[in-house]
Structure 1
Amino acid sequence: MMRQFELVERVKRYLPDADEDLLNRAYVYAMRAHGSQKRASGDPYFSHPLEVAAILTDLHVDEQTIAAAILHDMIEDTGTTRHDIESRFGENIAALVEGLTKLKKLDLVSKKAAQAENLRKLLLAVAADVRVLLVKLADRLHNMRTLHYVPPDKRARIAEETLEIYAPLAGRIGMQDMRDELEDISFRVLMPDAHLMMSKRLESLRSRAEGLIGIIETDLRAKLSANGIAGEIKGREKRLYSIWRKMERKSISFEQLSDIFAFRVIVGTVEECYQALGIIHQAWRFVPGRFKDYISTPKQNDYRSLHTTVLGPKHQRVELQIRTRGMDEVAEFGIAAHAAYKEGLVSADALAGTSKAYAWLRRTIELLAEGDNPEEFLEHTKLELFQDQVFCFTPKGLLIALPRGANAIDFAYAVHTDIGNNAVGCRINGRNAPLISELSNGDQVEILTTEGQVPPSAWEGLVATGKARSAIRRATREAVRRQFVGLGRRIVERAFQRAGKTYSEEKLIAALPRLARQTLDDVLTAVGRGEMYSGDVIKAVFPDFREEVAKAAAPGTGAGWFGVQGADKLKFKVPGQESAAGSIPIRGLSDDLPVRFAPGGGAVPGDRIVGILTPGEGITIYPIQSPALIAYDEEPWRWLDVRWDVDEHDPRRFWAQLIVSVINEPGSLAAIAQVIADTDANIDNIAMRAKTADFREMVLDIEVWDLKHLNAIISELRTKPVVANVERVIG
């Protein structure tokens, strides 16, 4: 276990003016608080926070971060409180430690939900101070290094969480070495056979390429030196999990990989980076499609470098990364190496203003935290983090970074949520294209929009980014809620009319406490969803109102009134018997109400109709003669009086179903189809089934304007010699 003076010495090597007293006090306080606690390995528990602090000294972080690392498990695993830490070490360190503390006694239904809430808490703390993430990643790295002491079932869960969340987080803030180690340990735990196989193949390749690597390094150094560039050459070997992931993603074999061994060329200035690139391309042949300029277009995690692949000595493919020393430091340590951070205690806003990686992280956290349930939050976080990237441009040249596999819908939401919600089409590189088109590096994307659109819920399964998925879910929920609010308002208005009262939103708002709802829309939504009866709303507004209770009659009998189940009754007229002024107008499936038509044959304008309210789903419209209505005889509160409200200026077709018996001979189907076409109807679906050897039965789903149009089609079909019988299906 590292001793007190050793920790101080490690910090003072890179931070000569470090606050020794702070480090000493944190060391002693944590050691006493953890006392005789043991880790799964049997080591003193205090050895863990010390190792976390040691990892962070390699990143050259400030002494407050080191102190927070030493104290990071105090609130969670000892009797220490935030107040105790704040009184001894100050507000900054107390906030860091609290941000690293898991939530206790979560009232959640699953471990997944608890994991999500703890992750949400961590990320919100990270948005305020990135040092929380640095300590958390160092904490996770040491836990992964000692994972073999943990029981196997828990070991797999921790490794999966690391691979899905913490390793990508490290990559997103540029800490690539840490990401690689986290991924490799997780890979070994989760896929031991694949890890062993890859290790053996890499060792075999390493032994064969040993001499060649020396030749390439010598040649590179000589060519740069001959042109006056004093470059440092570093060999790099691709990590096992990176190799495995690339093989899986590109469906290629180990032998087809060209970048297992690569070389970093470290030069003094940006100008020398491009000079070195020219020298290398003149000396060795460049492999087309393998050049990337991350200096002019840095990655989202602040990574900057030139990448190229050439055919080097003995026609061996060689990958080269050319960068300055400052770029190399950022590539190795990520945000911990950022100039603004190294200057001392900078604010989160200042760091976000100078670091793309941290600015991206804060924006992502803000989007993820917008009210989704825990499982959705976890899903969206994984979508945002665990992806490689493509870079696309708006028509004005704004760079948009997206995960690989993203489409134009993702692009639209990345630009702005309103653009995504209103998107109706796109142009990619000047050509019209579907919104689901997958994007490639360098694409210029223009999104076409129309005001008032609602994104289809099916988009949720097509997008690749958490932001787009979250926004689509939110827009869909809001659209459904608006529909239920509209339905609830109409139901309540009709209920007030039947009770002889004047509908007033002001009176409804005053009655909200009695209805146990916070807003008027909450009440209307509950009524529209069938979760609250309109009679209860009237009783809340007019407590002294005595409702007339009448004998319930079977639906459709014309008896006049229905009683509503419950202690207090509110009278409803028999559906179809009430005046049009008191009924709810129905236009169609695209109306602003949650309306659907009976599944067994639909309904068309001209039919006498009734609405059945299904809690949580809305209204189902049935023709009054539908036999399915018998099932609702004992639930009169679900019956709604509805009427057609067809807009003459916006005609639309409605679905109906016919069963047509035809003679089994050539041309029968053509004759039926010709009638449908001649009568200005449309066949939506058709099914054939054998009735007898001489007859076939066709089930036709057709779209018609109204009942008169449907009856005309039936009459015309019956005149055809091949038709034996035609019946309309009424479900």
Structure 2
Amino acid sequence: MSGIDGLATRLSSYLGTDQVNLVRRAYFYAEQAHDGQRRRSGEAYVTHPLAVASILADMHMDHQSLMAAMLHDVIEDTGVPKEALQAQFGETVAELVDGVSKLTQMDFQSKAEAQAENFQKMAMAMARDIRVILVKLADRLHNMRTLDAMPHDKSRRIAKETLEIYAPIANRLGMHSMYAEFEDLGFKAMYPMRSAHIRQAVKRARGNRKEIVAKIEESIRHCLEREGLQGEVSGREKHLYSIYQKMRGKRKAFNEIMDVYAFRIVVDKVDTCYRVLGAVHNLYKPLPGRFKDYIAIPKANGYQSLHTTLFGMHGVPIEIQIRTHEMEELAKHGIAAHWLYKSSEEDAPRGNHARARQWVKGILELQQRAGNSLEFIESVKIDLFPDEVYVFTPKGRIMELPKGSTAVDFAYAVHTDVGNSCIACRINRRLAPLSQPLQSGCTVEIVTAPGTRPNPAWLNFVVSGKARTHIRHALKQQRRSESVSLGERLLNKVLASFDSQLERVPAERIEQVLGEYRFASLDDLLEDIGLGNRMAYVVARRLLTESGEGGELPTSEGPLAIRGTEGLVLSYAKCCTPIPGDPIIGHLSAGKGMVVHLDSCRNISDIRHNPEKCLPLTWAKDVQGEFNVELRVELEHQRGLIAMLAGTVAMADGNIEKIGMDERDGRTSVVQLIISVHDRVHLARVIKKLRALKGVIRITRAKA
């Protein structure tokens, strides 16, 4: 029986005659289009689309997916336009084929960028129709099965991409059998020697274990019969790549991994699953803490099953999975099983399908927020490898988060605005640090405050791609608005010294200068000034005179006032730690904005009088915030010294940020304190309190 006839016979078991004939038509169309083309292995090209359709047929996919599989290379390889396919096979099939074709074309500068751009296309295509990715996965699977015909370097590149992107996607969509095959084929192509060694070792181990496996299987069967429960018991094999990863990642010996015996029990309905669980727990003692109920709380990819680990005969650990037939299909084929178990309403997305849609929606949201394709793929890779943690909202809704997630990840998972305005959290009704990793089963409540902004320090501990992307996005927006407002103040200050103001500069002149500097809007120019990339007085001269040669700058009318609320574009130098009340000077640093130094700071003594680099500053009357300052305290050595200092600083409303100690000799000690104060008056109050302590010899403020 020729290839298409064999496939048609298989399809007739679950598709109508008309639908099977449509798939046949697509096959003959592809055969004609690819006429004369050969694969690298020498076979006629049409064997590839046929094999891809066959993989989808194993999953009982619908006829449109199968037609798209037959035609998936037609647009790209044979020059047949999308419109021709649309006329022949309808819009849906043409869209699917177009979606798959777009995922295949790659031409970029760097490999990483190519992969990232490709992935973005995939996200867009998946959002339109999730079947695009299923056809693409089947296409990739057949290419992986025939990888031997490829040159070594190319096959390694394809295998790496499969392990990094396609295998995790299959896993995320719950398609376990495809995921396992991707990993094993990728492993074999990437590390042929390691793969062969592990395969040999597994073969030997299986031979030695046959007897024990048979005994355990027999005792489980008898146990179910005694309880009058129906269930199919089968041994479960670990796939090679997962063995390799456990050996490598968890530093386990091969024997340790193989000494665990794994079984699966498939039953008719959910109720029976729990009854079987009770029966096997009576047969062998369960291991505490190793029971997981994925039926009540399914995994993020829709996987459902009961997992338990038992102490078997002679103390060998036995892992058991208990699930229904439908769960078994879902575990094997994941989202593809949605077509297998169609609900009565034709397109109502069921659990698994709805989850996949939700995930794709999340990916699209990430893509809109990410700065570039590489940042996007970094976020997606984090979300593709989730070892989930399940936590509850205060109202009892379950949220799935990647392992190691913190309350900030949770806040962004609830809603972007909740994340952006989050200030504190309660874990199980107790206040906890935002950076504390969440454990499964805890209830998390987020405390928000209007007008707050994400903290850049959050990027050090968040794990989910969504949180990372949204924090970066918010910080970019915040930095931009702060740069624009600082740029405007700097420019107006210089213009004021020419007796002018930005509002008084004619619009045509501004447009002309923007054209010269190649900026689309005035805000872009102001942002550049605020970030210290462009000098305000050079721009002022260009705005006021045609040539930009406006003679020397007149003396400015007073220094620029610092309010302390300028945000990310204004920072205080670590070398001299200026605080309100100190005489200060501003250094414009490209990309960073303005750095505030003490007027007497040695680090800027060379450029102090250069108007292009520095400008005089003063503190505004209503300056806000807390400022760090370093003190050196010399005092006689005594017990409880640190507690005494900390108590005294606290009494003066100061706050110790850091404390360090150098013992000079047996009698005197030098303590370095970094404390936060409001201004010089506050600092003087703190120093006065410290001086009053018994045994204090000298207090000095550390400056560069």
Give distance in 1, aligned partners of 2:630 and 2:219: 78
Residue 448 (structure 1) aligned with residue 447 (structure 2): yes
Residue 417 (structure 1) aligned with residue 424 (structure 2): no
Give distance in 1, aligned partners of 2:479 and 2:582: 27
Paired residues of 2:406 and 2:462 also in contact (CA < 8 A): yes
Residue 640 (structure 1) aligned with residue 615 (structure 2): yes
Give distance in 1, aligned partners of 2:253 and 2:646: 59
Give distance in 2, aligned partners of 1:259 and 1:397: 39
Moved more, 529-538 or 18-27: 529-538
Per the alignment, residue 487 of structure 1 pairs with 486
TM-score (norm 2): 0.85
1:348-367 aligned within 5 A = 350-351=348-349, 355-367=353-365
Per the alignment, residue 578 of structure 2 pairs with 603
Per the alignment, residue 527 of structure 1 pairs with 529
Per the alignment, residue 182 of structure 2 pairs with 182
Moved more, 329-338 or 488-497: 488-497
Look up the equivalent residue of 2:364 and give its one-letter code.
E
Question: Closer, same or farther in 2 for the Cα pair 1:283/1:593, shift >3 Å?
Answer: closer
Question: Closer, same or farther in 2 for the Cα pair 1:278/1:501, shift >3 Å?
Answer: same
Per the alignment, residue 5 of structure 2 pairs with 5
Give distance in 2, aligned partners of 1:688 and 1:76: 72
Paired residues of 1:340 and 1:346 also in contact (CA < 8 A): no
Look up the equivalent residue of 2:528 and give its one-letter code.
A
Give distance in 2, aligned partners of 1:233 and 1:710: 75
Question: Closer, same or farther in 2 for the Cα pair 1:133/1:74, shift >3 Å?
Answer: same
Give distance in 2, aligned partners of 1:181 and 1:73: 23
Residue 262 (structure 1) aligned with residue 252 (structure 2): no
Give distance in 1, aligned partners of 2:341 and 2:506: 57
Superposition CA RMSD, Å: 4.2
Question: Closer, same or farther in 2 for the Cα pair 1:217/1:513, shift >3 Å?
Answer: farther
Paired residues of 1:198 and 1:240 also in contact (CA < 8 A): yes
* Secondary structure in 2 matching 1:452: coil
Look up the equivalent residue of 2:443 and give its one-letter code.
Q
Per the alignment, residue 25 of structure 1 pairs with 25
Give distance in 1, aligned partners of 2:328 and 2:303: 9
Paired residues of 1:61 and 1:342 also in contact (CA < 8 A): no
Residue 578 (structure 1) aligned with residue 557 (structure 2): yes
Per the alignment, residue 551 of structure 1 pairs with none
The answer for unaligned runs of 5 or more in structure 1 is 548-565
Moved more, 527-536 or 434-443: 527-536
Give distance in 2, aligned partners of 1:345 and 1:369: 32
Give distance in 2, aligned partners of 1:91 and 1:209: 55
Question: Closer, same or farther in 2 for the Cα pair 1:345/1:121, shift >3 Å?
Answer: farther
Look up the equivalent residue of 1:376 and give its one-letter code.
E
Q: CA deviation at 1:452?
A: 3.0
Paired residues of 1:486 and 1:593 also in contact (CA < 8 A): no
**Alpha-carbon displacement from aligned partner over 1:323-360 (angstroms, at most 9, x marks no partner):** 2221211111111111587469966xx43777343233
Question: Closer, same or farther in 2 for the Cα pair 1:292/1:704, shift >3 Å?
Answer: closer
Q: CA deviation at 1:427?
A: 2.7
Give distance in 2, aligned partners of 1:570 and 1:727: 46
Paired residues of 1:410 and 1:464 also in contact (CA < 8 A): yes
Give distance in 1, aligned partners of 2:674 and 2:445: 39
Paired residues of 1:656 and 1:704 also in contact (CA < 8 A): no
Question: Closer, same or farther in 2 for the Cα pair 1:603/1:428, shift >3 Å?
Answer: closer
Q: CA deviation at 1:384?
A: 0.3
Question: Closer, same or farther in 2 for the Cα pair 1:700/1:320, shift >3 Å?
Answer: closer
TM-score (norm 1): 0.82
Q: CA deviation at 1:248?
A: 4.4
**Alpha-carbon displacement from aligned partner over 1:459-502 (angstroms, at most 9, x marks no partner):** 22322211121122112222222221221221233244334344
Give distance in 1, aligned partners of 2:59 and 2:393: 37
Give distance in 1, aligned partners of 2:22 and 2:596: 73
Per the alignment, residue 310 of structure 1 pairs with 310
Give distance in 2, aligned partners of 1:161 and 1:674: 58
Moved more, 293-302 or 493-502: 493-502
Paired residues of 2:531 and 2:569 also in contact (CA < 8 A): no
Look up the equivalent residue of 1:615 and give its one-letter code.
A
* Secondary structure in 2 matching 1:338: helix
Give distance in 1, aligned partners of 2:660 and 2:146: 64
* Secondary structure in 2 matching 1:218: helix
Give distance in 2, aligned partners of 1:128 and 1:341: 22
Moved more, 471-480 or 220-229: 220-229
Question: Closer, same or farther in 2 for the Cα pair 1:567/1:725, shift >3 Å?
Answer: farther
Aligned residues between the structures: 694
Q: CA deviation at 1:686?
A: 6.4
Per the alignment, residue 218 of structure 1 pairs with 218
Question: Closer, same or farther in 2 for the Cα pair 1:480/1:65, shift >3 Å?
Answer: same
Paired residues of 1:300 and 1:356 also in contact (CA < 8 A): no
1:650-669 aligned within 5 A = 652-655=626-629
Give distance in 1, aligned partners of 2:315 and 2:619: 77
Look up the equivalent residue of 2:304 and give its one-letter code.
R
Paired residues of 1:263 and 1:320 also in contact (CA < 8 A): yes
**Alpha-carbon displacement from aligned partner over 1:362-394 (angstroms, at most 9, x marks no partner):** 233223212321111111111001122221112
* Secondary structure in 1 matching 2:307: strand
Give distance in 2, aligned partners of 1:363 and 1:505: 48
Paired residues of 2:661 and 2:669 also in contact (CA < 8 A): no
The answer for unaligned runs of 5 or more in structure 2 is none
Look up the equivalent residue of 2:6 and give its one-letter code.
E
Residue 369 (structure 1) aligned with residue 344 (structure 2): no
1:676-691 aligned within 5 A = none
Per the alignment, residue 563 of structure 1 pairs with none
Per the alignment, residue 172 of structure 2 pairs with 172
Moved more, 590-599 or 150-159: 590-599
Paired residues of 1:688 and 1:696 also in contact (CA < 8 A): yes
Q: CA deviation at 1:539?
A: 7.7
Q: CA deviation at 1:434?
A: 2.4
Paired residues of 2:59 and 2:340 also in contact (CA < 8 A): no
Moved more, 219-228 or 699-708: 699-708
Q: CA deviation at 1:617?
A: 0.9
**Alpha-carbon displacement from aligned partner over 1:115-168 (angstroms, at most 9, x marks no partner):** 111111012111221111111111111111122222222222222221121111
Look up the equivalent residue of 1:423 and give its one-letter code.
C
* Secondary structure in 2 matching 1:355: helix
